Chains A and B, each alone.
Chain A
Amino acid sequence: MSALVEVKNLKKYFETPRGMLHAVDDVSFSIETGKTMGIVGESGCGKSTLGRVIIHLLDSTDGNIYFEGKDITHANARQLRKLRENMKIIFQDPYSSLNPRLTVEQTIMEPLLISGKYSSKACSAEAERLMDMVGIDQRLRLAYPHELDGGRRQRVGIARALALNPRFIVCDEPVSALDVSIQAQVLNLLQDLQDQYELTYMFVTHDLSVVRHISDDISVMYLGVLVETCASKELFRHPLHPYTQALISAVPTIDIHNKKQRVILEGEITSPINPKPGCRFKKRCIYHTDQCDAPQQLEEILPNHFVACCRVREINQL
């Protein structure tokens, strides 16, 4: 087993008039080839920024990014061009992420043309193949995005991401703008493509049910920090971090006979601008004590189950 993508102590800060915004703060993890890493957290936790930094849509502030074992943190423009054939992204909103003035075919062909690897005839044939792969009818080849419904638009986004046969795709909330019946179609498509082409996904979402369904491993983020990471099944069976526990308990369940015990969090996510060194979750945590003012380290609490909480053993009686 080898890691296709690995990040070490990755940081992304944004300068704002009110101070330094710590969007991603000291995040480390790795994703193995052919697997899906789910990144879950609430709005503003830095999960989308993390995805964008990894594929170099944003520059990192500090730390390292490895792809196929090579350090690509400071890749230059020429190296990036090569890398981007292998690292793609599917965006959240299929309504605003497609160029309204390009047809379906042009949208899918654009990365092929830019690569310079295909003649225009080969491009067209390749676009046709990609449309078949994601299940878009050939008759929609010349349609514009406004003529398509959300599910089809997202398929166009997926086809474009698949152009040039990438190995790694960041899926940034790819189904949250879609209705449930369509959402299931797109999730199944992503799974099928992964099985067929051994794709590696980083799946960014706020939806715990979706992330549980699609991921092999899950990392939970809170205010720029990774608070818990482990296998998907393990996370839902034994959530250890108080934030993960609250997050999972907050999801409304369709089981009307067994109401679960709910942890209702007080307050809201605090500001990521100039955060204090201690636990970022402290303010909302029901277990917080003075110990929590010290910096928290991600620690292996159970085999392959990492948690950043100084009281985790006490809280979970481990």
Chain B
Amino acid sequence: MIEEGTSFLTVNDLVVEYTSEGSVIHAVNGVSFSLERGKTFGLVGETGAGKTSIAKAILRILPDPPAKIRRGQILLEGEDILKLDEKAMRKIRGRKVSMIFQDPMTALNPIMKVGKQIAEVIKLHNKATNKQAEAEAAQMLELVGIPADRFNEFPHQFSGGMKQRVIIAMALACNPELLLADEPTTALDVTIQAQVLEMINKLKRELDTSMIMISHNLGVVAEICDDLAVIYAGEVVERGSKEAIFDRASHPYTQGLFAAVPTLDEEKERLAPISGLPPDPSNLPIGCHFHPRCPLADEQCKIEKIELREIESGHYCRCIKVAAMEN
């Protein structure tokens, strides 16, 4: 589905399932995408679409049980990390790939000094003495805009925005090549969000980090991503460059998302909600998973599994009702 070789990260046909009380939850159903070095790839979708499961699969931190990676490849510089043993994986985590978690209030250890928490990561991955690691941790704090003299404070002494910066400092401490950012600004106020997004953009430029940005906020994605995939019920329903998706959104779900959000850019008398609810992942509709909510759906959509098709160069859409575009 995706040509291998040139990409820094390639996710190929990834399938993740959770087993719970006898029923199987189909969280990720054959997701494929690739990311080039230094670029940012966005995963957009609503709660329960499977975005976080994809990120956790890349880091191999899905709780097993109940989660199982059933199928697929995750190629990091050509090497399938799903085949690595735990020991090799630990070398990758934090050092080569690291993650910024969504909730800064719960991701930090409440009884450990913030500086120490950053130093811990550095020590774990480098042959550094305590002193070196702490000096480096202090530098990281400065890098994310926190004065180094707050090294010895505890998380409760920090505001939400500052905690999120500490988490970012931690994720960046070992200079990872790939950063997985899971809704990094969702818990923050807009003016602080603007600060954090600007900081992430700056760090990305300076350190040439590749990034996967998970968000439900189309504005944040527009701000920070080069390419993106829209995820619905564990599947990529549309994928392409930011320009392709924002200018020529084609899948009815993507179009629905754009119509449903109020924006500052245009006035909408009335919002156009997507009718119905996201499907139950343990009992996905047959055929196109979106058909019960789709204004275009007909009998055909309820029968066959819909494949992702290229509708223009580099722009893919999983819908039989959408015709290929002509340039």
Given A206-B190, A250-B194, A264-B198: A180 and B257 within 8 A (CB)? yes
Residue interface bits A242-256, CB-to-B below 8 A is 1, else 0: 000011111111111
Contact present for B46 and A179 (CB under 8 Å): yes
Q: Closest CB-CB distance, A107 to chain B, in whole Å?
A: 20
A187 to B5, CA, bound (A): 47
Residues 277-304 of A, flagged 1 when their CB comes within 8 A of B and 0 if not, give 0000000000000000000000000000
- A206 near B270 with CB under 8 A, answer no
B162 contact from A180, A208, A268, Cβ within 8 A: A268
Residues of A within 8 A of B190 (CB): 42, 206, 208, 247, 250-251
Interface size on B, residues (CB 8 A): 44
Contact B222 A256 (CB under 8 A): yes
Contact status A42-B222, CB under 8 Å = no
Instruction: Provide the residues of chain B in CB contact with A247, threshold 8 Å.
Output: 190-191
Question: Which of A43, A149, A184, A249 contacts B260 (CB under 8 A)?
Answer: A184
User: Which of A23-31, A88-96, A111-119, A209-217 is the interface stretch?
Assistant: A209-217
Q: Which of chain A's residues have a CB closer than 8 A to the CB of B261?
A: 180, 183-184, 209, 254
Which chain B positions have C-beta within 8 A of A262?
Answer: 194, 198
Question: What is the predominant secondary structure among interface residues of chain B facing chain A?
Answer: helix
Q: Does A191 contact B (CB under 8 A)?
A: yes
Given contact pairs A209-B264, A212-B264, A247-B191, A252 touches B217 in the complex (Cβ within 8 A):
yes
Least CB distance from A149 to B in Å reads 6
Interface string of B249-266 (1 = CB under 8 A from A): 000000011111111110
| B-contacting residues, A180-215, CB 8 Å | 180-185, 187-188, 191, 206, 208-210, 212-214
CA separation between A42 and B258, bound complex, in Å?
A: 25
**A173 CB, nearest partner CB in chain B, Å:** 13
Q: How many whole Å from A147's CB to the nearest CB in chain B?
A: 13
List chain B residues, Cβ under 8 A from A256: 222, 242-243, 246-247
- Whether A151 sits at the interface, judged by CB under 8 Å, is yes
CA A313 – CA B190 in complex, angstroms?
A: 26
Considering the complex, which residues of chain B in the window 144-170 have a beta carbon less than 8 Å from any beta carbon of chain A?
Answer: 159-162
Say if the beta carbon of B223 comes within 8 Å of chain A: yes
- Whether, in the assembled complex, A236 has its beta carbon less than 8 Å from a beta carbon of chain B, the answer is yes
Whole-angstrom distance between the Cβ of B259 and the nearest chain A Cβ: 8
Could you say which residues of chain B place their CB within 8 Å of the CB of A143?
Answer: none
Is the C-beta of B268 less than 8 angstroms from some C-beta in chain A? yes
Q: Is A265 part of the binding interface, using a Cβ–Cβ cutoff of 8 Å? A: yes
- Expressed in whole angstroms, the Cα–Cα distance for A90 and B189 within the complex equals 22
Which residues of B lie under 8 Å from residue A246 when comparing CB positions? 191
Of B159, B259, B268, the residue contacting A213 (CB under 8 A) is: B268
Residues of A with C-beta under 8 A to B65: none
Chain B residues with CB under 8 Å of chain A are: 46-47, 159-162, 189-195, 197-198, 216-220, 222-223, 242-243, 246-247, 256-265, 268, 270-274, 277-278
What 6 A-B pairs are tightest by C-beta distance, nearest first?
Answer: A252-B219, A184-B273, A213-B262, A250-B194, A42-B189, A184-B271
30 contacting pairs across A/B (C-beta < 8 A): A42-B192, A179-B278, A180-B46, A180-B216, A181-B273, A181-B274, A182-B273, A182-B277, A184-B260, A188-B270, A206-B190, A208-B264, A212-B264, A213-B268, A213-B271, A246-B191, A247-B190, A250-B191, A252-B220, A252-B222, A253-B264, A254-B218, A254-B219, A254-B261, A255-B222, A255-B265, A256-B247, A268-B192, A269-B159, A269-B189
